[in-house]
Amino acid sequence: MLSELAAPQNVLHPHSHAAADIANLFWWMMGGAFIGLALVSGLLIWAWVRRNRRGFTAADAEDPHPGEKAGWFVVVGGGVVLALATVTTVFIVSAKVMGVTEAPAATSTAVTIDVIGHQWWWEVRYPGTTAVTANEIHIPVRTRVNLVVSTDDVIHSFWVPELNRKIDTINGQTNRVLLYANRVGVYRGTCAEYCGLQHAHMAMLVLAQPLAAYRAWLRGQARPAAAPAGTLQRTGERVFLAGACSSCHTIRGTSAHGFTGPDLTHVASRQTLAAVTIPNRRADLGDWIVDSQHVKPGNEMPDIQLSGRQLQAVVAYLEHLR
């Protein structure tokens, strides 16, 4: 179900230049670490075997520290020079890789997307348009996207391992990172900074699409909500606008202008709910509305008291908001 929407997150399965460089850096560092481990283990075993084979001789009694000079060479060479050279090399290479992960300059014509962290979901805005969505970030494939992240509450960290490094959302400032996917697909990401009870359920999907499909999607998202069709949906809209829902959620084109929870103008076009916690299906949507605290304890949505008929109507209305 949810696992079918995107391949599991895998840092070593890169789909961008930046992620490939990070994966390569990892393999080189891992290789170097294993060579170092082999070297130290080899020296230890060699010293132990040599000492045991030779036994304690009369010469040892005269000179209790044989090979002291060679020992100094190993300590200074291996412990200081080699270590400094390794750390310096890793530092320089890391600094170069970090350059590759940078977002394109804000002045360039690249696509810019604003992502705002909330406990525990991601608000997604497309500057220059009225489109606002949540948790599912559409981007054009093979395009350098300037991702600008900020937070509404605590520190979060935006991380889609197959596309780039993490970027923290820090209070009172915006951070930028490059978002780039080299092929069409759905990439799963997650919050990578502990941010409270539902930190583990603060995932997101990046959907990389061909440019034309992306533009069509964006045009659709910028539109106001579809008017309800039929009695049931009209009842659903009335219940939504009159009740608690509209004080926390926005549905563009209606009187619902709340901003505590995600914008629901096109909620039916999303594949998941509650930050990729449950699939966006009728039964799950209904459960979420009446008992979201059971699904995701601690989240800001109260359980909404609705009659069976009212719930059916609200679900029908929301399902219509494509």
Q: CB-side exposure of 202: number of CA atoms within 13 Å? A: 25
DSSP structure class, residue 250? B
Helix axes 231-242, 308-319, angle to 10 degrees: 100
Q: Interface with ligand CUA includes 195 (CB under 6 A)?
A: yes
Tell me which of 194, 224, 283, 322 binds ligand CUA, using CB under 6 A: 194
**Considering the complex, what minimum distance in angstroms separates the CB of residue 257 from ligand CUA?**
25
Binding range to ligand CUA, per CB under 6 A, among 1-9, 57-65, 188-196, 283-291: 188-196
Residue 143 CA to residue 138 CA, distance in Å, equals 12
Q: Interface with ligand CUA includes 193 (CB under 6 A)?
A: yes
Number of chain residues interacting with ligand CUA (CB under 6 A): 9
Tell me which of 144, 156, 249, 320 binds ligand CUA, using CB under 6 A: 156
Enumerate residues 197-256 that contact ligand CUA by CB under 6 A.
199, 202
Q: Interface with ligand CUA includes 274 (CB under 6 A)?
A: no
Concatenated DSSP letters of 160-207: -TTT---EEE-TT--EEEEE--SSSEEEEEEE-S--STTGGG-EEEEE
Q: Interface with ligand CUA includes 28 (CB under 6 A)?
A: no
Residue 316 CA to residue 322 CA, distance in Å, equals 12
**Considering the complex, what minimum distance in angstroms separates the CB of residue 191 from ligand CUA?**
3
**Considering the complex, what minimum distance in angstroms separates the CB of residue 199 from ligand CUA?**
4
Structure tokens belonging to residue 262: 């995600």
Q: Interface with ligand CUA includes 298 (CB under 6 A)?
A: no
**Considering the complex, what minimum distance in angstroms separates the CB of residue 154 from ligand CUA?**
7
Binding range to ligand CUA, per CB under 6 A, among 15-23, 67-75, 193-201, 206-214: 193-201
Residue 137 CA to residue 182 CA, distance in Å, equals 16
Strand partners, 273: 278
In sequence order, which residues have a C-beta less than 8 Å from that of residue 117 and are 6 or more positions away?
123, 149, 150, 151, 152, 153, 154, 156, 158, 169, 191, 195, 202
Enumerate residues 77-136 that contact ligand CUA by CB under 6 A.
117, 120
Structure tokens belonging to residue 320: 């219509």
Number of H helices, E strands in the chain: 10, 12
Choose between 149 and 239: whose C-beta lies nearer to ligand CUA: 149
Binding range to ligand CUA, per CB under 6 A, among 49-57, 190-198, 277-285, 293-301: 190-198
Tell me which of 178, 191, 239, 274 binds ligand CUA, using CB under 6 A: 191
Q: Interface with ligand CUA includes 139 (CB under 6 A)?
A: no
> Measured over all CA atoms, what is the biggest interatomic distance in the chain, rounded to whole angstroms?
104
Reference 29, options 79, 77, 81, 86; nearest CA is 86
Choose between 191 and 239: whose C-beta lies nearer to ligand CUA: 191
Q: Rule CB under 6 A: which residues touch ligand CUA?
A: 117, 120, 156, 191, 193-195, 199, 202
